[in-house]
A and B are shown apart, each in its own frame.
Chain A
Amino acid sequence: MTQSVVVQGEDMEPNCIGGRITGLKARAVLVDMEEGVLAEILQGPLRQLFSSTQLISDVSGSGNNWAVGHHTYGSVYREQIVDQVRRAAEHCDCLQCFFLIHSMGGGTGSGLGTFVLKLLEEEFPEVCRIVTSVYPTAEDDVITSPYNCVLAMKELTEHADCVLPVDNQSLVDIVGKIQHMSHTGKPSCVIKKNSTIISGQGGWLDQMFSDAFSKEHQLIRADPKHNLYLACALMLRGNVQLSDLRRNIDRLKPTLPFVQWNQEGWKTSLCSVPPVGHTHSLLALANNTCVQFAFGQLRERFVKLYRRKAHLHHYLAVDGMESAGFSEALSCLSDLIQDYTHLECPLMPNAPRLSIAT
């Protein structure tokens, strides 16, 4: 799960508060089938949060092969992973959720990551599983990444309660924008990395809400406003009042198409404590049909390789991997795309209510 860990490390670096967190250990299990990144973390600014007993690593990597991560390493490290997770879980008073962070393109994150997801379902069936999946860019240098992504997506569809897809290209774009802004040095500009929002300090609250729904601020490359919202959660932190929230929902609602059966599909939350270094932040989590296009492109890239059976033998050589796995993963993805398409034309518009004989 190389990438995600690195992303997290970078994000938190500027806000590191050093000595004050010495007594705390992250409720986390870090898994990688190489040693480099984990070693970096243990020497990095967040080293105090982790101890080496929380790490599970190997030396040889998964060679960008989902099957190696999922089947080979899965069976080798199964016991060890369950053991570590159980130990972390036993430290919780009230375990609510597992939060899995991984990438889709490589071998370890996608293969072993989705194996861990399945393990969590087996071992802790009542605890919900939320997954953040980082998708590779189309120009990814890993040639087999479409295979890895599609194989992993089947597992996510079947075993995750909720998936937050993140497109690497969107992250790159946002980082570029942040760098551009900090170099041009706009006065009073505060940049919020964690909240996906870039917004000004001092009363630009409404702009922050508008940004959260604009194409430029999405974590996947898609335009939610031109697609259908199934539901949307808004999480506000810092100096924001309930009235600000209601006002902005009322203001934006006419521009946001919501599915007919969930016209009031908003979930909101307020926390008066802002993220470190900011006055306020907004996180908008939306279930929107715009994801189907990104998935459609991914399917095209998969089919291009799969039609020629390119690189298939690398996968099929792995114990436990069968060729049917590919066609099943493909049809699973197609179904998912279709499900999202169907939502745009309602199945039963105005279903008649039950009538009572009088």
Chain B
Amino acid sequence: MSIVSLQVGQCGNQIGHELFNAISGDCNGPNRKTYSECSNERFFHESPTGELVARSVLVDMEPKVVAQTISKACKSGRWRYGDEAYFSQKQGSGNNWANGFCVHGPRHKEVVEELVRREIERCDRLAGIFTMMSVAGGTGSGVGTYITQCLRDMYPQSFIFNQLTWPYGAGEVIVQNYNSVLTLSHLYQLSDAILVHENDTVHKICSRLMNIKHISINDVNKVIAHQLGSVLQPAYTADSSGYYSRNPIGELLSSVVCHPEYKLLSLCNIPHMSSTSLAYSTFNWPGLLKHLRQMLIASARMEEGIDWTVSVPSAVTSGGESGTNSRQKCFNVSIANLLILRGKDVSTAQTGKLLSNICLEAILKNVNSFSAWNSPVPFNGYQKSATLVSNSQSLLKPLDNIVRKAWDMFASRAYLHQYTKFGISEEDFLDSFTALEQIISSYTHL
């Protein structure tokens, strides 16, 4: 089973490159023949000369980042991108979602569709399409959304899984909240699941846990790539009976996206640390799981500063009626969780006990909303690591902030003419706001 990746815009291309780099590095370690074979089949195909070529399509409306990405991959010596697997233009989208979605997208539809089709036809079996993009700018968000829409039409039966990078709250692009609102509302109709990374939290991981002094975009992207890799690399699942899972995206979706109204996924991963302190650290599974559990119920995105006072409210533990009143305010309600453990002695980790009782099963009776995968192969240099993909309320606050700021701007009609100029009307905005308020409301009232 293979995954076809799509890297759109500056952010998507940079993260895509880091992801393939992390994966190919991870496969180069000792004692992991089957694991590497499975991973290679998943992410790469072999050129006639035996080189690993990423199953990925690069798209940007500027030439610079795509060119840099391709040449960096070539220099790695381990893998490269396909010779004709990219498409770039010269002009950029000017941080305008409407320009990407209404102008660039339709204009380059055929070319991009053809590139993706070629990658897909190269796969023996397609596990799904994995798209990486940001929501703040114009190309990743606008063109990325448009391409997702085209792919949904072309491949109605395939899994489409989007990874989105949310901008720093303090602002990278003035209209980032407009672009985010438009992207999220459209993708919610198209994508099977949306996995979110917030730049703010990843930045904090870089500064507090990895002790990086001058944090560059590269550092942030590496952390995102590490987290993605820890989900997408081969693992044993409940259905895979002793073999590495053949259907990673499908199994991921079936475990965490159990209702079409709820498809915003967040990720936490422990441990994260600088490579120097990693050499002197040891971990045990009970310790890691204890942290991860508390991170989930207190909605902390990293190991540091977890609020240990949050506990599972009694209404949930007793399995009774989970009225909103009885629920603790800061308890993070989740619908479904997927735990992925990688590393030594993984079979000794007692996952079931620690992660029970944290999911909301009231509305989903008889659904097993907790799944676990594992792999005995240590991932990306960490002897033991644990990753949790959760469908929970933890993205509610940042989502609400984005919608509030965008709404403030919209109420003053600020920057709207830049969008109507390309064909996104006020009604389109209102539709998007309605869709997102609906999502916020659904998650709030879990």
The answer to whether A264 and B174 touch across the interface, beta carbons within 8 angstroms, is yes
A261 at the interface (CB under 8 A from B): yes
B91 at the interface (CB under 8 A from A): yes
Contacts of A230 in B (CB 8 A): 414
Residue in A260, A346, A347, A353 with the greatest tally of chain B CB atoms within 10 Å: A353
When chains A and B are docked, how far (Å) is the Cα of A96 from the Cα of B90?
10
Residue in A259, A260, A264 with the greatest tally of chain B CB atoms within 10 Å: A264
When chains A and B are docked, how far (Å) is the Cα of A94 from the Cα of B64?
14
Q: Contact string, A251-274, partner B, CB cutoff 8 A, digits 1/0?
A: 000000001111011110000000
B434 at the interface (CB under 8 A from A): yes
B249 at the interface (CB under 8 A from A): no
A188 at the interface (CB under 8 A from B): no
Known: A94-B91, A266-B171. A351 touches B411 (CB 8 A): yes
Q: Contact string, A340-358, partner B, CB cutoff 8 A, digits 1/0?
A: 0000001110010111101
The answer to whether B214 and A243 touch across the interface, beta carbons within 8 angstroms, is yes
Contacts of B381-434 to chain A: CB distance below 8 A: 403-404, 407-409, 411-412, 414, 430, 433-434
Contacts of B440 in A (CB 8 A): 356
Interface size class of B (residues with CB under 8 A): 20 to 34
Q: Contact string, B342-376, partner A, CB cutoff 8 A, digits 1/0?
A: 00000000000000000000000000000000000
When chains A and B are docked, how far (Å) is the Cα of A259 from the Cα of B407?
14
When chains A and B are docked, how far (Å) is the Cα of A354 from the Cα of B438?
9
Select B414's contact among A94, A262, A355, beta carbons within 8 Å. A262
The answer to whether A353 and B403 touch across the interface, beta carbons within 8 angstroms, is yes
Known: A93-B90, A353-B407. A264 touches B171 (CB 8 A): yes
Task: Kindly report which residue of chain A lies nearest to residue B403, judged by CB atoms.
Answer: A353
A42 at the interface (CB under 8 A from B): no
The answer to whether B433 and A354 touch across the interface, beta carbons within 8 angstroms, is yes
A190 at the interface (CB under 8 A from B): no
Expressed in whole angstroms, the minimum distance between the Cβ of B338 and any Cβ of chain A is 28
Interface residue count for A (Cβ, 8 Å)? 23
Known: A354-B433, A354-B434. A265 touches B174 (CB 8 A): yes
A231 at the interface (CB under 8 A from B): yes
Select B91's contact among A96, A262, A267, A356, beta carbons within 8 Å. A96
B445 at the interface (CB under 8 A from A): yes
B441 at the interface (CB under 8 A from A): yes
Contacts of B162-181 to chain A: CB distance below 8 A: 170-171, 173-174
SS class of chain B's interface: helix, strand, loop or mixed?
helix
Known: A264-B170, A353-B407. A348 touches B412 (CB 8 A): yes
Contacts of B90 in A (CB 8 A): 93-94
Contacts of A234-257 to chain B: CB distance below 8 A: 243
Expressed in whole angstroms, the minimum distance between the Cβ of A165 and any Cβ of chain B is 20
When chains A and B are docked, how far (Å) is the Cα of A96 from the Cα of B171?
25
The answer to whether A262 and B174 touch across the interface, beta carbons within 8 angstroms, is yes
Task: Kindly report which residue of chain A lies nearest to residue B440, judged by CB atoms.
Answer: A356
Task: Kindly report which residue of chain B lies nearest to residue A264, judged by CB atoms.
Answer: B171
Expressed in whole angstroms, the minimum distance between the Cβ of B52 and any Cβ of chain A is 34
The answer to whether B91 and A261 touch across the interface, beta carbons within 8 angstroms, is no
Expressed in whole angstroms, the minimum distance between the Cβ of A102 and any Cβ of chain B is 24
When chains A and B are docked, how far (Å) is the Cα of A268 from the Cα of B433?
28
B437 at the interface (CB under 8 A from A): yes
Known: A354-B433, A354-B434. A261 touches B409 (CB 8 A): yes
When chains A and B are docked, how far (Å) is the Cα of A348 from the Cα of B434?
19
Q: Contact string, B61-103, partner A, CB cutoff 8 A, digits 1/0?
A: 0000000000000000000000000000111000000000000
Contacts of A347 in B (CB 8 A): 411-412
13 A-B pairs within 8 Å (CB atoms) are namely: A94-B91, A96-B91, A243-B214, A259-B414, A261-B411, A262-B409, A262-B414, A264-B171, A264-B174, A347-B411, A351-B408, A354-B434, A355-B437
A-to-B contact residues, CB < 8 Å: 93-94, 96, 230-231, 243, 259-262, 264-267, 346-348, 351, 353-356, 358
Shortest beta-carbon contacts, A-B, top 8: A264-B171, A351-B411, A94-B90, A356-B441, A261-B408, A261-B412, A261-B409, A354-B437
Q: A267-B174, A356-B438 are in contact. List 18 more A-B contacts (CB 8 A).
A: A93-B90, A94-B90, A94-B91, A96-B91, A230-B414, A243-B214, A260-B408, A260-B412, A261-B411, A264-B171, A265-B171, A346-B412, A347-B411, A348-B411, A351-B411, A354-B433, A354-B434, A356-B440
